[in-house]
């Protein structure tokens, strides 16, 4: 049980770490068009992201895939930028109008990229044989899922307050939040190691 809590907490901290806010930024970008009434779709997308993230860690931990860190660190803000731009151009439209297949595939793919970004750190803390790595990986994934649900609930509460108390339209909320995310992520891209 203690080992479960170690890796579960590591998953929680991985997402909720303000210093490494790219994960939170992606979740905010992903949630732009959604409200509490869309909880089934939201839960599906969050879980698909976790699956992609965990699968990438699995491939890395077991030595199946190796990728340069600077490439992944460049791709992570790109995934956030693409998500924010997508919602900028679809601002105010119902999330239900989007093809769930398209959004689901993109979410899994972005989860893979984000998972690869964390794989080097995760590999350094994983010691022992390959058979000892599977359960910590799954425990870590549960921590990620729990943290993502926390972030999503907070984002949906803020969206609800902004749209009801402050009377922002859904379209204005999407435009402001997408623009904010783009403004935050562009410097991350421009300062990437890939350009140095």
Which residues does 113 contact at the CB level (< 8 Å), separation at least 6? 56, 72, 75, 76, 79
Structure tokens at 65: 């895939």
With b for 16 or more beta-carbon neighbours within 10 A and e for fewer, the 112-148 pattern comes to bbbbbbbbeebeeebeeeeeebeebbbbbbbbbbbbb
- Residues 2 and 6: their CA atoms lie apart, in Å, by 6
Indicate the domain borders of the chain. Answer: 2-13+22-195
Please give the model's pTM, rounded to 2 decimal places: 0.88
Neighbours of 186 (CB within 10 A): 13
Half-sphere exposure of 82 (CA within 13 A, CB side): 11
- Residues 181 and 20: their CA atoms lie apart, in Å, by 15
pLDDT 10s digit of each residue in the chain, 196 long? Answer: 777 898 899 889 988 988 878 889 999 999 999 988 888 899 999 999 999 999 998 898 888 888 888 888 899 999 999 999 998 988 866 545 556 677 788 899 999 998 888 887 777 776 554 557 888 888 988 999 999 999 999 999 999 999 999 999 999 999 999 999 999 999 999 998 888 7
Which residues does 148 contact at the CB level (< 8 Å), separation at least 6? 15, 27, 46, 49, 50
Quick one: fold of 2-13+22-195? Growth Hormone; Chain: A; (1.20.1250)
């Amino acid at each position: 049980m203690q080992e479960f809590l170690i890796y579960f907490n590591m998953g929680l901290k991985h997402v909720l770490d303000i210093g490494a806010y790219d994960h939170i930024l992606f979740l905010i970008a992903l949630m732009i068009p959604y409200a509490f009434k869309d909880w089934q779709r939201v839960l599906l997308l969050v879980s698909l992201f976790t699956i992609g993230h965990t699968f990438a860690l699995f491939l890395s931990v077991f030595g199946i895939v190796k990728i340069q860190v600077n490439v992944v660190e460049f791709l992570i803000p790109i995934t956030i930028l693409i998500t924010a731009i997508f919602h900028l151009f679809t601002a105010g439209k119902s999330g239900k109008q989007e093809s769930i297949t398209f959004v689901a595939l993109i979410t899994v793919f972005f989860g893979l990229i984000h998972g690869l970004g964390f794989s080097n750190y995760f590999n350094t803390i994983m010691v022992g044989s390959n058979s000892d790595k599977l359960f910590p990986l799954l425990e870590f994934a549960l921590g990620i899922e729990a943290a993502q649900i926390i972030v999503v609930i907070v984002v949906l509460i803020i969206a609800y307050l902004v749209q009801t108390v402050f009377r922002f339209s859904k379209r204005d909320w999407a435009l402001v939040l997408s623009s904010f995310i783009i403004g935050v992520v562009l410097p991350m891209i421009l300062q990437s190691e890939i350009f140095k």
